[in-house]
Amino acid sequence: MKNNYLKNIKQQFEYYKFLGDKTFEQLSDVDIHWQYNEESNSIAIIVKHIVGNMLSRWTNFLTSDGEKEWRHRDTEFENPVKTKAEMFDSWEKGWTCLFEALNDIDENDLERVIYIRNQGHTVLEAINRQMSHYPYHIGQIVYVAKMIKNKEWKTLSVARNKSSEYNKDKFNKEKTRKHFTENL
């Protein structure tokens, strides 16, 4: 089961990265800075926060506290990158850090205790914590992008009024055992 968990969690993270990537493809340099109001975050700000969290949590994942001294979380909500290309480079850096850390973990590490702000978590709990955090923000990114693009938005999942067709296609195939993200 543990081996399956690590493989599955990597696939889940890859899926949420994919959703972000496909969203960014639809946006311009101007779009990434759009805010609904003064108190809401732009996509560029949300990405800056996710990346700050990723670099802090996943750098030296097994050996140092997940809240690094060099991280200044409050500044993640200020002065975002200027271009989509800069934002995407930062995004890639965060994901690279995450996937490299996950690749260094094996099933024997899952019950090991690590710390985030001096609070002990098993490695399994820490991974699950981040698996809840990033999709929360990626959902925000997708939602803001849908507002920006409106009718030009290209859906990332089953299109409206297409569920029957989608299900028919799925049920016309043989039953298989695979991760739902395969063949996206």
Q: What is the pLDDT of residues 84-142, one digit of tens each?
A: 999 999 999 999 999 999 999 999 999 999 999 999 999 999 999 999 999 999 999 99
pLDDT band at 182 (very low <50, low <70, confident <90, very high): confident
- Give Cα 172 distance to the centre of its chain: 32
pLDDT of 2 > 80? The answer is no
Task: Provide mean pLDDT across the span 155-162.
Answer: 90
pLDDT digits (tens, 9 = 90+) for 30-85: 999 999 999 999 999 999 999 999 999 999 999 999 999 999 999 999 988 999 99
Looking at domain 2-156, what is its CATH homologous superfamily? Answer: dinb family like domain (1.20.120.450)
In this structure, are residues 54 and 97 in contact, taking their beta carbons and an 8 Å threshold? yes
